[in-house]
């Protein structure tokens, strides 16, 4: 069956617009499942320090012999929660980044210092206003009109968006240290503070209640008292909170700490859980009762296909359990359930195909739910013509900008 639909442009509630603009001209091995093919791309690197994006360690593992063959390179896991640096690159970077270079193989250190790691990678590829403008144009061509950038690195980023007249199409979230470093005017332009509760599936550092297939469970970045204290600091500042949490142990912890917080303060900060790929029905209901919002990625339903090497069948089926969240816990797309891409990848096609035709029926979103949680409210700036082939399970899109 062929279905046709006109929908508004996208509002990507979780992106990293500036970082991806800065890295837009880097080599990428994203989607390259063959190690030899990936090595050929990496060997094309001809810069002093080459940044390689999109490595998925479920496809292949690089060894020391591989690294020795490469030009000076910084190789980024697709999730950015893991960075590998060749020895030749380490020698070039050691004087300026000694603390990071000596700690880069410590997964826990990376998770606790993720903002520093991201800033390091971005600093190797300074971004110009023109480059940002072109990157935003590319996002628009993919159907994205508005974004929320979850990784503000400094006040200069705000200035860049103002310079290219895009400030009305973006909202900024910052980690607490970055927020404190901003001047008063720029603090007013930050909608909230982001904190990170656990790691990623790509690095098997997202904290699960039951272990990955290799026996590991990932880890939490805070003890309960520490997370409570983070919420308290942000609550006193008066900003909203976005908490990165992927594993069910991380979402369990957030709910547990928020319940304690409400007991003491009679209310909680305005809070949004980012990703929330695994959450029990019990804690989903409690989150709804507490007034927590969720920001999730329909494209992350693909993880149920690509991470069969590390997730049990139960976890594969529980990933992105939209039907439970909407039908049983009562979350409402566009009200307290919002969608974004995390730029993995951005745009309408992958997001809508994953929403309509995921690996598990528990991950299905209707087109109306997708629009409510993922689109702007009007057609003032354009629209997207969508053709859905229900037999082939594909989507064809045509973005129209007015």
Pairing of strands 382-389, 394-401: antiparallel
Burial track 80-104 (b if 16+ CB lie within 10 A, e otherwise): bbbbbbbeebbeebeeebeebbebb
- pLDDT in the model for residue 126: 86
Alpha-carbon torsion angle 258, 262, 265, 271, nearest 10: 50
From first to last of its 402 residues, what are the pLDDT tens digits of the chain? 999 999 999 999 999 999 999 999 899 999 899 999 999 999 999 999 999 999 988 889 898 899 899 999 999 988 888 889 999 999 999 999 999 999 998 988 998 898 889 889 988 988 888 999 999 999 999 999 999 999 999 999 999 999 999 999 999 999 999 999 999 999 999 999 999 999 999 999 999 999 999 999 999 999 999 999 999 999 999 999 999 999 999 999 999 999 999 999 999 999 999 999 999 999 999 999 999 999 999 999 999 999 999 999 999 999 999 999 999 999 999 999 999 999 999 999 999 999 999 999 999 999 999 999 999 999 999 999 999 999 999 999 999 999
Tell me the two tokens of residue 149: 């950038």
- Asked if residues 102 and 93 have their Cβ atoms less than 8 Å apart, the reply is no
Query: Are 264 and 215 a contacting pair, CB within 8 Å?
Result: no
CA distance 321 to 399: 29
Question: Which tokens hold the place of 345?
Answer: 């990848």
- Residue whose C-alpha is closest to residue 274's, from 113, 114, 148, 144: 148
Q: Which domains does the chain have, with CATH numbers?
A: 26-123 (3.10.310), 129-401 (3.20.20.140)
Q: Report the C-alpha gap between 249 and 206 in whole angstroms.
A: 9
Residue 153's nearest CA partner among 56, 11, 22 is 22
pTM for this model (two decimals): 0.94
Q: Which positions ≥6 away from 127 have C-beta within 8 Å?
A: 18, 21, 22, 160
- Taking each helix axis as running N to C, give the angle between helix 367-374 and helix 348-356, from 0 to 180 degrees, rounded to the nearest 10: 140
End-to-end CA distance of the chain: 30
- Beta-bridge partners for 401: 382
Cα 259 → chain centroid: 26
Cα distances (angstroms) measured from residue 104 to each of 94, 117, 118, 131, 242: 12, 9, 12, 28, 25
């Amino acid at each position: 069956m062929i279905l046709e639909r006109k929908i508004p442009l996208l509002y990507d509630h979780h992106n990293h617009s500036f970082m991806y603009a800065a890295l837009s001209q880097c080599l990428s091995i994203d989607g390259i499942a063959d190690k030899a093919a990936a090595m050929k791309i990496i060997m094309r690197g001809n810069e002093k320090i080459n940044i390689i994006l999109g490595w998925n360690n479920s496809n292949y593992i690089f060894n020391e012999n591989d690294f020795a063959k490469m030009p000076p390179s910084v190789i980024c896991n697709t999730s950015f929660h893991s960075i590998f640096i060749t020895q030749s690159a380490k020698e070039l970077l050691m004087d300026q980044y000694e603390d990071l270079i000596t700690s880069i193989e410590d997964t826990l250190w990376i998770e606790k210092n993720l903002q520093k790691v991201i800033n390091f990678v971005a600093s190797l590829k300074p971004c110009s206003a023109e480059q940002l403008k072109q990157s935003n144009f590319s996002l628009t061509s993919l159907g994205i009109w508005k974004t929320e950038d979850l990784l503000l690195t400094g006040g200069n980023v705000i200035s860049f968006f103002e310079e290219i007249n895009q400030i009305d199409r973006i909202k900024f979230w910052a980690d607490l240290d970055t927020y404190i470093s901003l001047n008063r005017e720029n603090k007013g332009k930050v909608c909230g503070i982001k904190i990170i509760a656990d790691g990623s599936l790509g690095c098997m550092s997202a904290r699960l209640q039951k272990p990955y297939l290799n026996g590991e469970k990932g880890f939490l970045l805070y003890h309960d008292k520490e997370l409570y204290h983070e919420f308290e600091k942000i609550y006193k500042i008066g900003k909203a909170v976005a908490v990165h949490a992927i594993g069910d142990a991380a979402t369990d912890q957030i709910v547990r700490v928020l319940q304690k917080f409400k007991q003491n303060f009679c209310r909680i900060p305005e809070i949004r859980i980012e990703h929330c790929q695994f959450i029990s029905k019990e804690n989903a209901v409690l989150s709804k009762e507490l007034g927590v919002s969720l920001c999730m990625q329909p494209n992350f339903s693909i993880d149920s296909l690509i991470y069969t090497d590390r997730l049990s069948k139960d976890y594969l089926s529980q990933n992105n359990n939209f039907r439970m969240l909407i039908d049983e816990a009562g979350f409402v797309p566009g009200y307290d359930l919002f969608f974004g891409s995390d730029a993995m990848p951005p745009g309408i096609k992958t997001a809508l195909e994953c929403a309509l035709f995921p690996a598990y029926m528990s991950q299905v979103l209707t087109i109306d739910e997708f629009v409510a949680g993922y689109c702007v409210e009007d057609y003032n700036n354009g629209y997207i013509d969508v053709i859905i082939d229900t037999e082939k399970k594909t989507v064809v899109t045509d973005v129209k900008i007015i």
